[in-house]
Amino acid sequence: VEKNLKQSAENNNTDAVPNLVQPEGVAALRRASVRDKLLAREVQEMEANRARHVHTRSSTTPDVAAPLRARSVTPEEGVLAGRSRFVFLVQVPEEYNMVPPQVKCTTRLWHPNINEEGNVCLSLLRESSIDGMGWAPTRTLKEIVWGLNALFTDLLNFDDPLDNEAAEHYQRDREGFRGQSARVRAQFTPTR
């Protein structure tokens, strides 16, 4: 029975199974194909419109169905500008675009909105956000990449930090913050 359900789902034949009794697996297969179609279009659009200092690549295969993608950002301006490259892993769940991707920074840095574990504080990655800037099905991967880039310039947020120590350091001693940021970059981040 399960084999027939999968085959009918692959053939997009939903007549074989009444809607009320479709197993979760069939719905997941159908949803994954929606995700894959969205990703194919979004990746193509993102590559066509990306900033020259933002690089994207698949971390596994060129297949858009691969759930893990790497994005690297090399800030050209702002407090963290320099020759460093910051790498982010973007996990796109099967439920995409109804839920946001999960993003981790794999490069260690001194930043108020990215903690030592690589968690990223960016409004558009929240499923629900007080400021109305959270995730919505109309958002795209391109917006996430632009948001990650903006974390190094205009979206650098010292008022609602994820890493309180970095934010307090900046507010207390900006030059000291820049120095600490440069030391961490020199020790942990790859150069261009």
| R_g of the chain, CA atoms, integer Å | 20
Give DSSP secondary structure letters for 61-116. -S-TT-SEEEEEE--SSSTT-SSB-EEEEEE--TTTTTSPPEEEE-S---BTTB-T
Q: How far apart, in whole angstroms, are the C-alpha atoms of residue 181 and residue 189?
A: 11
Q: Is-catalytic flag, 121?
A: yes
Catalytic one of 80, 121, 162, 166: 121
Residues with catalytic roles: 121
